[in-house]
Amino acid sequence: MKRTIIDASQMELNDKVVAIKRVSKTVKGGRTMRFSALVVVGDGNGHVGAGLGKAGEVPEAIRKGKEAAIKNMVAIPVDENKSIPHDFIGKFGSASVLLKRAPEGTGVIAGGPARSVLEMAGIKNIRTKSLGSNNKTNVVLATLAGLTSLKTPEEFARLRGKSVEEIVG
């Protein structure tokens, strides 16, 4: 998975809370409750990131999750009709997400966690299917892994030493 460092200070970022969980730790005096928040941020223009924040209160967990997501921002190739360049299966843990490119007018056909990532990335036409585990954190990370592994026709042409016309056909 290629990671490119993105300077998020000049970007207009949107964030979406995917999941908030109440987690507990058992100690001598009983259980201590904390909150875990999974947050996805993106600029709607091919940049997206996901982060997990944990804290004693929900707003603080969301803030920490947003900061972690901004640190993990990645660039995603988007083609001319706001879809992905080719089909791919993203995997993380036991979660797999099938990403299929779609023509103009299809819309975002995706389940909850994958949909949040795709909308924040600015992808408007795509079909997805979540396979394997339906754990929200793993589905979000599998979607991100799939999107970061995508290559444009120009990258394929450069790798193979051919022209873009030979690759595209």
- pLDDT tens track for 132-145: 999 999 999 999 99
Every domain range in the chain assigned CATH 3.30.230.10:
76-158
- pLDDT (0 to 100) of residue 140: 96
Average pLDDT of the residues in 114-133: 95
If DSSP codes are grouped into helix, strand and coil, which group holds residue 104? coil
Average pLDDT of every residue of the chain: 91
Whether 14 and 45 have beta carbons less than 8 Å apart is answered as no
Question: Computed from CA positions of residues 136, 142, 145, 147, in that sequence, does the dihedral angle turn out positive or negative?
Answer: negative
Average pLDDT of the residues in 10-25: 92
Q: Which two structure tokens, joined as six digits, stand for 54?
A: 């944990």
CATH architecture observed for domain 14-74: 2-Layer Sandwich (3.30)
Name the class of domain 76-158. Answer: alpha beta
Every domain range in the chain assigned CATH 3.30.160.20:
14-74
Q: pLDDT tens digits, residue range 81-102?
A: 899 999 999 999 999 999 999 9
Pairing of strands 88-92, 95-101: antiparallel
State the Cα torsion 27-31-34-36 to the nearest 10°.
90
